[in-house]
Amino acid sequence: MTAVRNLSISLVASLLVVSSGCETAKDTPTGDDATAKKIYDGLRPTCGGCHGENTNFPIFASATAFQVLILQDPSWVVPGAPEESEFVKILRGEATGQFSQMPLTGDNFATLAADGKTAISVDEIEELIRNLDEQPSLPVESDRSLPTVARKSGDQLLRSLKTQVGLSEDVFFNEEHSGATSGRFAVLDPDRSPMRNPGYGEIPKSIERYIRLGGHSYLEGRRGNTEINPAFVQSLVVLSQTYCRLGITRGDGVLSEATLADVSSDPAGLSKIESNIEYLYLRMLGMLAKEQDKSELLGLFQHYETESSTEDAWTAVCSAIVRDPRWLSL
Ligand code: HEC
């Protein structure tokens, strides 16, 4: 239990990244963090306007958001292999997905760069990607106790998450929301029939997400996988944040004792926030929060509350709970 507990703290500490304006990176980033910052700084003048905080795809909300959503997502960036990285292709106007180029309109990034209109060149970006660590660093890697903890299967994980944050399937497949964040992060079981399109051509990515979470497919003869590998951890980070945020804005499971208007600087607000943390802990982990858990989560809440908003703060609290190994293993 102690091992699991330590692991929980290190997971919570190292995966705390909310796609928002706040920078969680250290003052002088090193290694891949530094690479992320360089590419992010170089691209932001060109791309930031459409991909900042509160946009559908907030990859330029912060260097950390860029790192988690792009650099650590193997469907965008293959560390060490820029030529295989879809993200580089989209900069060159050679992507085969929904969008062939970025920026969305006008010249593609490579053309703008060749004309000297950007802060970084495609060659520089390629060189940085070539030097990224082969294996994205996994915070839990060194913890030998991990493989002995069985985790929820892909299906169990998605089902619990949706139920706990109070979301219905409709949120993901509603016409009204197609093209919004909800569609982008839908996860599709490829065996489901008929498949409904959750947004602009998102089916392949949604299935890929399902596979990365360890989902099985009888039709494709693929067994479920309950390993905790880098692809799983990365998918879970993005998924927990997105589902928690959707749960806060469109669901009815995350906020019960407090509202987004409650702030911790007000004593009445603070007590509602504390009650909601207890409520959420019990709802999601099925156990009473100890004083230490409560104060850790409150600290986390307050960090994001001051840096950005109560919505980000609750997203951080909810996704920290999802990434607790006890949540994963229950
Ligand atoms: C004029 C606005 C605009 C600019 C500038 C822009 N984008 Fe986009 N980008 C979009 C829109 C719209 C989408 C679709 C998703 C969404 O709704 O946000 C998108 C989607 C993407 C996607 C996902 C594509 C996919 O197939 O799912 C990536 C990656 C991306 N942009 C990267 C960039 C990068 C890198 C830059 C700068 C070189 C950039 N964007 C500049 C508007 C823009």
Nearest ligand 1 atom to alpha carbon 99: 26
The 10 Å Cβ neighbour count of residue 136 is 18
- Is 216 a pocket residue for ligand 1 (Cβ < 6 Å)? no
Query: How many A from CA of 122 to the centre of ligand 1?
Result: 16
Structure confidence at residue 28 (pLDDT): 67
Query: How many A from CA of 255 to the centre of ligand 1?
Result: 32
Q: Residue 34 domain-assigned?
A: yes
276-293: pLDDT as tens digits: 999 999 999 888 999 999
Query: Which runs of consecutive H residues, i.e. helices, occur in 189-309?
Result: 203-212, 230-250, 267-285, 291-307
- Is 98 a pocket residue for ligand 1 (Cβ < 6 Å)? yes
Q: Tell me if the pTM is above 0.85.
A: no
Instruction: Please state the domain count of the chain.
Output: 1
- Is 99 a pocket residue for ligand 1 (Cβ < 6 Å)? yes
11-39: pLDDT as tens digits: 333 333 333 333 343 356 777 888 999 99
Q: Residue 2 domain-assigned?
A: no
The 10 Å Cβ neighbour count of residue 313 is 26
- Closest residue by Cα to atom 4, ligand 1, is 103
Q: Residue 112 domain-assigned?
A: yes
- Is 104 a pocket residue for ligand 1 (Cβ < 6 Å)? yes
Q: Which domain holds residue 121?
A: 19-130
| Assigned token pair, 120 | 């970084």
CA-CA distance, 140 to 233, in Å (whole number)?
9
CB 202 within 8 A of CB 183: yes
Structure confidence at residue 242 (pLDDT): 82
* Best probe residue, ligand 1, of 19, 67, 102, 242 (max atoms within 8 Å of C-beta): 102
Q: How many CA atoms lie within 13 A of 216 on its CB side?
A: 10
CA 279 to chain centre: 23
| Assigned token pair, 138 | 């996994």
Q: Residue 118 domain-assigned?
A: yes
Q: Considering only CA atoms, which of 217, 184, 189 is closest in space to residue 201?
A: 184
Rg of the chain's alpha carbons, rounded to an integer? Answer: 20
- Closest residue by Cα to atom 30, ligand 1, is 102
- Is 102 a pocket residue for ligand 1 (Cβ < 6 Å)? yes
- Closest residue by Cα to atom 16, ligand 1, is 56
Q: Residue 166 domain-assigned?
A: no
Structure confidence at residue 206 (pLDDT): 61
- Is 150 a pocket residue for ligand 1 (Cβ < 6 Å)? no
CB 119 within 8 A of CB 41: yes
* Best probe residue, ligand 1, of 57, 108, 118 (max atoms within 8 Å of C-beta): 57
What residue ranges of the chain have pLDDT lower than 70? 1-28, 54, 134-150, 169-208, 216-224, 330
CB 122 within 8 A of CB 91: yes
Structure confidence at residue 268 (pLDDT): 97
Q: Residue 1 domain-assigned?
A: no
Torsion 284-287-288-294 (CA) sign: negative
Nearest ligand 1 atom to alpha carbon 90: 29
CA-CA distance, 240 to 142, in Å (whole number)?
23
Structure confidence at residue 280 (pLDDT): 94
Q: Residue 248 domain-assigned?
A: no
Structure confidence at residue 251 (pLDDT): 84
Structure confidence at residue 223 (pLDDT): 66
How is residue 68 annotated by DSSP?
I
Q: Considering only CA atoms, which of 288, 287, 274 is closest in space to residue 317?
A: 274
- Is 48 a pocket residue for ligand 1 (Cβ < 6 Å)? no
Query: How many A from CA of 174 to the centre of ligand 1?
Result: 22
Please name every residue paired with 222 in a beta bridge, in sequence order, or none if there are none: 217
Structure confidence at residue 139 (pLDDT): 40
Instruction: Detail the DSSP E strand segments found in 29-104.
Output: none
Q: Residue 274 domain-assigned?
A: no
- Is 46 a pocket residue for ligand 1 (Cβ < 6 Å)? yes
